[in-house]
Structure 1
Amino acid sequence: MDSEYVLDKCSEPCLQKLNCNDICRGTCGKCKQGRLHIPCSEICNKINPCNHICKFPCKERCPPCNNKCLYSCIHSKCTNICGKPCVPCKEKCSWKCRHLCCTVKCGEICNRMPCYEPCDLILECKHNCIGFCGEPCPPLCRICQKDEVTTIIFGNEDEPGARFVYLEDCGHSVESEALEQWMNQNDKEIVLKQCPLCRTPILKTLRFMNRVKVILKDIAEIKEKQYKEQFVISSNKIEMLQSLKSLSDNFKSIFIGDLRKFQHIKDLWDMFCKPLNKQFQISQKTHKNNRNRTVHIPIKEIESLDFVINLFKSTSKYKQIINEDIDDGPMKQTIINHFVWLLSVTFTYAKELSNQQKFDINMEMARGGRIVSLYKILSSVEYKMKVQMNIDSTNKNEVKDLIDNMIDMLISCKVYNLNRDKEIENRMELIEQKIDGIAFISDEERKMIHKAMSVNFPGGIRAQGHWCKCQNGHIYCITECGGPMEESVCPECKVKIGGRNHRYVSGVTVASEMDGARSLAWSSANNIGDYIFDD
């Protein structure tokens, strides 16, 4: 029985910790022994800045909140979904009392302070109000409801001169000094303040409206940033659809395998692409002369579409190398099967690939790239001649052992990662030293491998400038947030590498040969690009 088939049937829980910090709920077989995890299904449950709980599967990248917006003022209520920026109210602010008056627009920061004079209104029971001047009167009387008013919750409720604030959002009345302290807690956190008794967001209480407006302004900036990111992703979708159509039209010549054996791959591709191609064709006919023709595709699908297109193009490049430079035989078919397997997984989940899946697929692409580079050399006439004729038996045995070890590492069912790839690279360098004139990998192949491995950054975006060199020229990669956050030592020469707070240690330079970057991520030279605007 095929060992791969047996591994696929393993029903033991995976239980590996994913990049999103959730525990994988798949099985060992379904997750390919941790090499390609199924999508994370854990509900996020994080509280968004707007105070809604995110119910999207997996917290790796929450989409903009799609609940109804909570914000309203005395003039109107926001009708957008929560994830869209609110339109500031242009009406005149209504906050005034006989001592103070705000003169700016409702949506702007008020130009008056809260009034601390006692309210002079008389309640229906003929007793004095316990609130402040110009604010809604708390529906409690210090005399008629003495027990309720003076019940100690925060400490000052039983003071004779205690003043209370009525929270219009939930109807609770809270002692003013305690509420001030409550509102000042976690002042640096971008999240709506809540009633200390019931956790209802405080949005309508004029006394704290300036704090609410500052928080809403910060939340609006977050929304704006999210929508800007979505616009950047969406702006290229017509080009993506054109590329998708071209790949569909030329599928047979681009596909790395034999379609007679792998028709199911084409079926998966068609399930994903045909609806999109149909939308695109309708859009072209409807808006033939309109450059602004649009096709509605959810943001998550656009991100996946970009990944699928790039992966398919990469496997096509490997197809050419495999067909031209690798000897026929069982291993050639094994290499092809590896890439077909990756395409199968990618096309199966093509509509909504998670960042974890993209990461896993790219690491397996890097593994495949190393296998191709190894067998390309083993198939070359130059290698065969040098091994047979130009090196002594001791070196020949050492080279054979190194190659056997590399093959075992590359075809292992263990997870492929940066450390394993570095081990492979080190062995390739050792063989190059023992066989003068042999180069295991071309610059183009190196970039293909490292492009695949550069997906483990925020949002799954392949950024440049994360491949670095220590002061002695040894290459390493910064993962996590993409900028240096901790110091370490070079595994080759033990000099300091990395950095702190996005500042690199002295001597670190960009490894341009890896991804074509001209400057380090988070360096001044890289960040200056944020201030260059195209016409």
Structure 2
Amino acid sequence: MHISPERCIDGTLFPGDISAKSKTGNTPEVKITAVDNFQGEENRVILLSLVQSNKNRKIGYLQVPNRVCVALSRTRDGLFVIGNMTCLRQASPLWEKVISKADTLGLCGKHLELKCFNHKDTKMIVETPQDFEKYKDEQTVQRLEDCCHIFELSCLDEYMDKRDSERHVGMNVCPRCTTPILHSKRYGNVIRECSQDIDAAKRKINCLDIIKDRNEVLLATVKLKIKDDRAFFLSCIWQAKNKPHITAIRNQLNFYMSVTKSIAYVTSKYKDIILEEKRQDILKELHGLQKWILIQRFRFSEQELSEFKLELTRVRLSLRVEALMRSLQKIENGPQCDSEWTEMTNKSLNSGEKLNEKTGQKIEIKLNQLEKQYPHSGLGISDDERIMVLKAMGFAQKGHVYAIGDCGGAMTEGKCPECQETIVSSSHRLRDDNQVAAEMDGAQFSAWSEQANMQNYDLVAHLDEMF
């Protein structure tokens, strides 16, 4: 009677046995399950494995009547039980009755009678594990571990050796289902040769891309101003042997340039905008990020990429918040920020904890609104508006702002419309009691002043600007 593997169950009373059996590479069509998971179901053939065999005669779950009932009553055509029946009979009265009945009917035996499906006339009598060794030399079939299909040994050997003559690049596959053959003790050397051929092909294909990517990173590296940092990146580039390593160096270089740009920006642009102590704290954090970047590595993990982005965002938001607060403090009777937003900002940016991405987005949205209303110039206008009205601005004696037209230098005298004080002067010079409105463009002296005229002779400054 022929029974398909799908109609068979390999059952056990212990879940741990399922994992052990799965690793042996049994035919995948045969379901392996624990008896507890098989209640209410049945199948034509059940192979029941009982692993208890010990000197103390302890059988554990096998002495529970309900489990014994389920284990022995789920089959329709055939039940095959493999275990130490002597141990079971001595440990449980229930098993004594079951085994005695089976023994009376001639259903118990001391060995397994096995047959090779290719050699049906040959019987293999197996009673102990050592008995399997008797038939080892007579092996005529081979089962592939990856798909569990069985083939005649000489045919499979010829199939696996055929690649030596054809020399195709790729893994050999199962002739029946085309599953790649990746695991086999018998054909281990063939599998390794296939893997080496594939790796060699990959290196050759990716070679041109690697050279192109390396040159791009190299061009960006030689532009770095700090000699030691430039030497570090050059060393990493020459050691890179594959595309993922080049990609890691590219990311590393981009991160470095981003942090370096932030350091330069904080050093120059924010020198007079925020408190020096706070500025130094932010620079310290940026230098710490830069030091973390300059660690030789072969890849960036997803977590590292995410946390770097969040940390750089946190530092930049902290800088913007500090600049905004300083701007609001300079405004007489200026507005007060929402206390809830201020508390959230302090907790997220100054607590030392990782910035939450959604919280960072909320802070940035509010910052954009406030910066538009109260820019760093303190004039209540945006940078674009400031540039549009930028001329030679000055302060009258009592602090009122006025503009100078035409060429930008003070050419005529007039009256301040607010305090009637004399403003400007002549010959491109401000009056001694007038001041420069420095917050408009950061000018340290007025147009056409002696200081400005002296700059015309600063050749080094002009060369620096040109080159």
Alignment TM-score, normalising by the size of structure 2: 0.38
Greater helix fraction, Structure 1 or Structure 2: 2
* Larger relative contact order (CA 8 Å, sep ≥ 6): 1
Alignment TM-score, normalising by the size of structure 1: 0.34
Greater strand fraction, Structure 1 or Structure 2: 2
Which structure has the larger Rg? 2
